[in-house]
Amino acid sequence: MIDAGNYIVFFEVAIYLSAMLGIGFYFGKKDLDHSDYFLGGNKLPGWALAFSERATGESAYMFLGAVGFIYVTGLSGIWILFGMFFGVVVSWLFLAERFMSERKKYNVYTLSDYLAVKYPKHSHIIRWISSLIIGVFFIFYISGQFAGTGKTLYSISGVDVTWGTIIISVIIIAYSCMGGFMSVVWTDVVQSFLMVATFIVVPIVAYIEIQSQNLSISQSLIDMDNGGNSWIGGLSGVGLGVMLFANFSWFFGWLGGQPQLSSRFMALTDEKEVKTAKVVALAWTLVVYLGAFLVGIFGSALYKQGTVADSEMILPHMLSDLLPPWATGIFIASILAAIMSTASSQLMVITTSVSEDVIHKSLGIKLTSKSLVKISRITVIVGGVLGLILALVSKSLIYTVVSFAWAGIGNTFSVAILLTFFWKRTSGAGIVAAIVTGFISAIVWASTPLEEIITSRASTFFIALLAGVIFSLLMPDKKVYKSNVKTETV
């Protein structure tokens, strides 16, 4: 049953979902070839790709997880944002343009295809292993996002979790299927504006409420009695080092290894667009991260610990409590936007991996551009349905996998990209070793007590890096493929 007092919120969310579906329908009617469907066909402006990358990168974790974490921990929660912010800065300043130039040079559409073309002797195994890792992790990752939409919709409208999950999942699958990368990016633009508006408006409203009640932010942090008023959480020595390193470890996953993010870099058209995109992306990140931190801190002043049963729902709670229903509906849509943006982008990664890397390149099946688009749309539907089924029947397993997917995908491919970009002695064997070792170590490490000592978000990166360096030295590529050089110089 839908609570009568939430009809306005529900109506605005319905309008938002309809708008996302409308964007997908608009691009679905266009005559898209496979380059349009995979990477936008060099038709997307840099500012739009920047908004899309940021919306995709900041999933429900920022709106629910990070804000809830800061609400519970206090000032020391800033370090988790610091690690992620530094990773975003490095990726845009040092990797984005390189991704663009490498995509143009090798005429590739996916991260795994790029690595395969760079190391042709090992191309077959790189494509298969990469596709397997991406497919396994992202199906579970998508199912976690789908489950999150149902939970969020239930919290603000009373819609049954199962039906909420099904409805929003179908909408995500539909607009991703119809317009591919084009519709995903433009829906991301809308979603990105909603997300940044939320973290501008809510801190202001919360601060005004704090002043009206004559509450003390500093006293509320002291009353948390868990080091909430300390930037280092009241820790020292080894404990402080572990805390800082664990939070900063999010940095490693941003270094080019998230396929759904690197695809935005690859879609950039020229240096001018890259410069515009950098400014937009970094400004957006600064505003959102600062806003997320303030929402968590102000929330701890307004609502004592234990007042909100689920700390991850502190932002939705503040929206419904501090804003009128018409405003609540708009900003609740931003939380759904964060989830939907990530889920749709991950669907596109699976799609391009299956249709381009497996069917077209690995199996060598000759297909026309139109046929590739048709297969891609079928893949979106199949991948989306699998994710939806998992979201409905295996929630505990979903969240276990999502918890270390960042390490399994981000760290694994970050190492492969960094070695390829910046170390000339990297070999195909080294890339294969880094990918396989990163994948296995992420699963094994996160499943043992070692995770409590050093998070897999950091350990996986260094284990994969070590494997990549060792195997590159032991098994170097004996032949320099001069054909690419000749092609470039002709």
Q: What is the pLDDT of residues 23-48, one digit of tens each?
A: 888 888 777 777 888 888 788 999 99
At 468 the pLDDT is 96
pLDDT of residue 356: 80
pLDDT at 487 over 50: no
In the chain, % helix, strand, coil (3-state, to 5) comes to: 85, 0, 15
Mean pLDDT calculated for residue range 233-238: 76
Q: Where are the domains of the chain?
A: 4-395
CA 136 – CA 143 distance, rounded (Å)? 11
DSSP character at residue 151: H
User: Which pLDDT band, with edges at 50, 70 and 90, does 156 fall under?
Assistant: low
Burial 432-471 (b: 16+ CB within 10 A, else e): bbbbbbbbbbbbebbeeeebeeebbbbbbbebbbebbbeb
Residue whose structure tokens are 């996916």: 110
Question: Is the predicted pLDDT of residue 3 greater than 60, yes or no?
Answer: no
Provide the pLDDT confidence category of residue 479 given band limits of 50, 70 and 90: low
In the prediction, which pLDDT does 137 show? 79
162-210 residue pLDDT tens:
888 898 889 989 988 888 888 888 988 988 998 899 999 999 999 999 9
Answer whether residue 126 shows pLDDT above 60. yes
- Residue 377 C-beta-side C-alpha neighbours within 13 Å: 18
Residues 34-53 as b/e (b if ≥16 CB within 10 A, e otherwise) read bbbbbbbbeebbbbbbbbbb
Please tell me the distance from the alpha carbon of residue 180 to that of residue 349, in angstroms, as a whole number.
Answer: 10
What does the chain come to in residues? 490
pLDDT digits (tens, 9 = 90+) for 67-96: 988 999 999 989 989 988 999 999 999 999
Cα-based torsion angle of the residue sequence 140, 143, 149, 151 in order, rounded to the nearest 10 degrees: -80
Whole-number percent of the chain with pLDDT over 90: 34
DSSP E strand boundaries for 18-122: none
The span from the CA of 150 to the CA of 167, in Å, is 9
Enter the tokens of residue 155. Answer: 């919290």
Is pLDDT at 421 greater than 70 in this prediction? Answer: yes
Residues 93 and 81: their CA atoms lie apart, in Å, by 18
Evaluate whether 460 touches 443 at the Cβ level (below 8 Å). no
- Beta-carbon-side half-sphere exposure of residue 267 (alpha carbons within 13 Å): 29
Task: State residue 454's pLDDT score.
Answer: 84
Stretch 128-144: mean pLDDT = 84
| Helix/strand/coil for 268 | coil
Percentage of the chain with pLDDT > 70? 93
Q: Which residue has the tokens 């939430």?
A: 6
Residue 272 burial (CB count, 10 A) = 10
φ, ψ of residue 475 to 5 degrees: the values are -130, 70
CATH 1.20.1730.10 fits 4-395, yes or no: yes
Distance of CA 184 to the CA centre of its chain: 13
Cα gap 22→128, rounded to integer Å: 35
Contacts of 233 (CB under 8 A, 6+ apart): 73, 74, 75, 76, 226, 227, 240, 243
Distance CA 62, CA 3 (A): 27
**Residue 229, number of CB atoms within 10 A of its CB:** 19
